[in-house]
Amino acid sequence: MERHTREEKIEAIGKVIDTLDRLRVECPWDRKQTYESLRPNTIEEVYELCDALIKHDDADIRKELGDVLLHVLFYAKIGEEKGAFDICDVAESLNAKLIFRHPHVFGAVDVADSHEVEQNWEHIKLKERGGNRTVLAGVPATLPALIKAYRVQEKAANVGFDWEERSQVWDKVREELQEFASEADKMDSENMESEMGDVLFSLINVARLYDINPENALEKTNAKFIKRFNYIEAKAKEIGKSLKDVTLGDMDAWWNEAKSI
């Protein structure tokens, strides 16, 4: 792949800004967009980028990054029109934050590894002017529950609230499973829901402690299940039946076939 110079990169970003400036004036759709109207599209674009990242599809990653970049520039353009900020303010604020949060690079702080960097990161964010007032304040309330659980555990661990040995977490998992089983025996739906949440939270803790991102792990399992289930459905269609008309034994056999593909 051709490597671009710094000047070429800056020029390319400038072209997009110029194009967006023109669209904001001349295109009826672009002209009417607001923070609120763009927000759902932004969420969709980020999820599409995540799909491409999971697939390691470089061409698609490049395309989806472009879509996300467009949204960043679009929000900055709207901010500029409101007189609140522009893309220069966004970039300068980001650069200042990066420098402030990396004293081991731009200052005199020494760190041994990436774990110490993460620990310092949380302490630094608490000191930032206008930053998070509490350790967990920076976790967005609207994050999906699985990702949120991982992030709150990670942030708590970075300030010392963690297991002394990661193997200790298995006792917690067993404890939570037993508590759920006890409530399941009683068929107490409210307590079952609560205990299931505790089971899932403890398993996410296992993933974190063993350096596994639970979101990525679950997404790969989702994809694996979908592929195998689609195989079962295709096999049923081959013999002219729907899934509800075949036996569980047939489905199990086809599932095992799909596992070997």
DSSP-derived secondary structure for 20-31: HHHHHHH-HHHH
For residue 158, is pLDDT > 90?
A: no
Distance CA 8, CA 106 (A): 26
Closest CA to 38 of 15, 5, 64, 68: 68
Q: Has residue 75 got a pLDDT over 90?
A: yes
Checking if the pLDDT of 201 tops 70, the result is: yes
Could you tell me which residues come within 8 angstroms of residue 154 by beta carbon, excluding any fewer than 6 positions away? 118, 208
- CA 229 remoteness from chain centre: 26
Report the Cα 97 to chain-centroid distance in Å. 21
Once rounded to an integer, what is the mean pLDDT over residues 191-205?
A: 97
Whether 117 shows a pLDDT value over 80: the answer reads no
- Does the pTM surpass 0.85? The reply is no
Q: What is the pLDDT of residue 235?
A: 95
Q: How confident is the model at residue 103 (pLDDT cuts 50, 70, 90)?
A: confident
Q: What is the mean pLDDT of the chain?
A: 92
Which pLDDT value is given to residue 128? 66
74: number of Cβ within 10 Å: 19
Which amino acid, 84?
A
Which residues are CB-contacts of 125 (< 8 A; sequence separation ≥ 6)? 101, 131, 132, 138
3-state secondary structure 55-70: HCCHHHHHHHHHHHHH
Q: What is the pLDDT of residue 126?
A: 67
Residue 242 CA to residue 250 CA, distance in Å, equals 12
pLDDT digits (tens, 9 = 90+) for 226-246: 999 999 999 999 999 999 999
Q: Which residues contact 203 (CB under 8 A, 6 or more apart)?
A: 173, 214
Report which of residues 2 and 100 the model is more confident about.
100
